């Protein structure tokens, strides 16, 4: 791995890992009321496009980090609907 790919891998890892505390907090509290649905939908669409871009240019750091980020953001979206008050 060259230094450019290493930089991309570190950047992708940090931005991806930043979602773990929010996923954990939402899961433990069973509450996603304060999370903006619009923001997470737009963000998830953007991440999906980044993932497609990474696949098209064969950029492993972009593909890996955006795959994991999409799973984490998607899990927050799912919990947004699962934990809605009745």
Confidence grade of residue 85 (pLDDT, cut at 50, 70, 90):
confident
Written as one string, the DSSP assignment of 11-59 is HHHHHHHTTHHHHHHHHHHT--TTS-HHHHHHHHHHHHHHHHHHHHTT-
Neighbouring C-beta atoms of residue 68, cutoff 10 Å: 19
Q: Is the pLDDT of residue 57 over 90?
A: yes
Sign of CA pseudo-dihedral 11, 16, 22, 25: negative
Neighbouring C-beta atoms of residue 75, cutoff 10 Å: 16
Confidence (pTM): 0.84
Domains with residue ranges and CATH for the chain: 3-82 (1.20.1280.290)
Confidence grade of residue 73 (pLDDT, cut at 50, 70, 90):
very high
């Amino acid at each position: 791995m060259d230094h450019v790919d290493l930089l991309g891998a570190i950047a992708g890892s940090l931005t991806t890992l930043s979602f773990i505390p929010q996923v954990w907090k939402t899961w433990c509290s069973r509450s996603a009321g304060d999370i903006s649905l619009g923001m997470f939908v737009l963000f998830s669409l953007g991440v999906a496009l980044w993932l497609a871009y990474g696949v098209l240019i064969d950029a492993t750091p972009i593909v890996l980090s955006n795959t994991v980020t999409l799973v984490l953001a998607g899990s927050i979206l799912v919990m947004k609907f699962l934990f809605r008050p009745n």
